[in-house]
Amino acid sequence: FVPISSVQVPRCVHIQLLILFSCVYLCVYPLCVRVCNRVCVSLRPSRRFCTVLEFCEGNDLDFYLKQNKLMSEKEARSIVMQIVSALRYLNEIKPPIIHYDLKPGNILLVDGTACGEIKITDFGLSKIMDDDNYGVDGMDLTSQGAGTYWYLPPECFVVGKEPPKISNKVDVWSVGVIFFQCLYGRKPFGHNQSQQDILQENTILKATEVQFPAKPQATTEAKAFIRRCLAYRKEDRFDVHQLCSDSYLLPHMRRSTSSGTLQPSSSLATY
């Protein structure tokens, strides 16, 4: 539930746009949780919006990792490919969308396993990249402090006179963190820290280079892919469209002629 009051008009407009986006676009894309309906509930003294989502029987990726700690590279790559496919869709619709809160808890495993279909959920922090607020250098981050710190890139933690600029490269960083966690069973930065500790100790601002554990082993190509996602300077980091064409993903993905979305190849999807 999201409360609405007279002093939250800009936020209300944002919520309405997100609801419209959800109803129009998420209903037709298979890798995002479908919005079944939206209602306005009157609960005195405030009014609240509520969205009704489709039911997904399986657990989320966070639950899976807590139960199994990690997964094979083939399984992890299959999940990442589906996430990247969904991100490409979100960046090709008009206006494009930055999810901004990609994390294992927002990746639903439809059948509860690591080798099946996933769905992305929770667009509550999403950013709408319309012409009014998005330029060549990105858009202002007006909700600094929100989000899940382990999965946000360094530019989201920069404090200055002006708000930092963000782009879809925020989601690319999150993909790198999620992939690392699937392979190694731990987050690359601040794994044993609380969100407060991460903020106070500038953990992400100091995350200039990712370090890989000796075990379990991952391929050189997987590590290189993660490095591209976790490039410290956003200018050096891939954007979503570049990620879709990454050499690590392309040999294992096919284009669906019916939907135009990238999907795991049939051989990989069976693992």
Give catalytic residue positions: 101
Contacts of 144 (CB under 8 A, 6+ apart): 156, 159, 163, 164
Looking at the DSSP bridge assignments, the partners of residue 107 are 120
User: Omega into 45 within 30° of 0, i.e. cis?
Assistant: yes
Asked if 82 and 117 touch (Cβ cutoff 8 Å), the reply is yes
| Cα torsion angle, 69, 190, 58, 115, sign | negative
Contacts of 176 (CB under 8 A, 6+ apart): 188, 210, 225, 226, 227, 228, 229, 230
